[in-house]
Amino acid sequence: MFKKWKWFFTILLVAATMLVIRLEDQGVVDTPVRKMVTTSADLTYLSELGQSWFDKENETITVSSDVGQADLLTFANAQVFKEGYLLQYDVGLPVYAGQNGLVVFTGHTKYTGKTMTISYDDGTTVSYGMLDSLAQLPYTSIQANDLIGMKEAGQLYLSIEKGDAHYDLEQIVQWLETMETHED
């Protein structure tokens, strides 16, 4: 009975959050709700709350060594865009989670199209935008190497934030290289 209530309150929380974010996107709400929900202590709290409710210890996913962030390092060029970078890819590629974390946004934005934002366990918040398909739902826990989405040839938006600072291109490349070394 208690598990049913957890699901109900989780669904209610997600629905209310998504509604307020949609109102923010439409200019009805002036408070930057997306910023509050996708940064800092709020994400840590939501991540810990979600993990405590949905214990995934008994769910083991076997991954092969050929998945991870390595493909993201093959971009042809990069240009600054908003708080991140547009990375150009000559071929399509799957996009995988760099490590364990919580999906805090999955949807469509005005500037980055199909976008997924993940709060990773290392304290980084990463937004993957201009994806062609999304493979995760908002407010779900993910494991390293879980599929996030697919990107056809073209530009992928990538923004990494830790604390109140956004990573520059060199820091993004270093972060991706670090995630590559964590592959199984």
Residue 17 falls inside a structural domain: yes
Q: What pLDDT, on the 0 to 100 scale, is given for residue 63? A: 44
**Mean pLDDT of all residues belonging to the chain:** 78
Choice between 102 and 33, residue whose per-residue pLDDT is larger = 102
Residues 125 and 89 in one domain: yes
Residues 138 and 177 in one domain: yes
Residues 75 and 37 in one domain: no
Residue 87 CB coordination number (10 Å): 25
Residue 167 falls inside a structural domain: yes
Q: What pLDDT, on the 0 to 100 scale, is given for residue 10? A: 63
Q: Which of 46-50, 80-84, 170-174 has the lowest mean pLDDT?
A: 46-50
Residues 48 and 96 in one domain: no
Mean pLDDT of 71-100: 90
Residues 36 and 96 in one domain: no
Confidence category of residue 136, pLDDT binned at 50, 70, 90: very high
Is residue 135 within 8 A of residue 150, CB to CB? The reply is yes
Residue 62 falls inside a structural domain: no
Confidence category of residue 25, pLDDT binned at 50, 70, 90: confident
Residues 108 and 172 in one domain: yes
Structural domain count of the chain:
2
Q: Can you give the residue range of the structural domain that contains 134?
A: 70-181
Residue 129 falls inside a structural domain: yes
Reference 112, options 125, 98, 128; nearest CA is 128
Residues 110 and 164 in one domain: yes
Q: Which CATH number belongs to the domain containing residue 76 in this structure?
A: 2.70.70.10
Is residue 169 within 8 A of residue 78, CB to CB? The reply is yes
Mean pLDDT of 17-40: 67
Q: What is the pLDDT of residues 140-164, one digit of tens each?
A: 999 999 999 999 999 999 999 998 8
Residue 76 falls inside a structural domain: yes
Q: What is the 3-state secondary structure (H, E, C) of the chain?
A: CHHHHHHHHHHHHHHHHHHHHHHHHCCCCCCCHHHHHCCHHHHHHHHHHHHHHCCCCCCCCCCCCCCCCHHHHHCCEEEEECCEEEEEECCCEEEECCCCEEEEEEEEECCCEEEEEEEECCCEEEEEECCCEECCCCCCEECCCCEEEEECCEEEEEEEEECCEECCHHHHHHHHHHHHHCCC
- In this predicted structure, the answer to whether residue 69 has a pLDDT above a threshold of 80 is no
Q: What is the 3-state secondary structure (H, E, C) of 47-77?
A: HHHHHHHCCCCCCCCCCCCCCCCHHHHHCCE
Give the whole-angstrom CA distance, residue 117 versus residue 107. 9
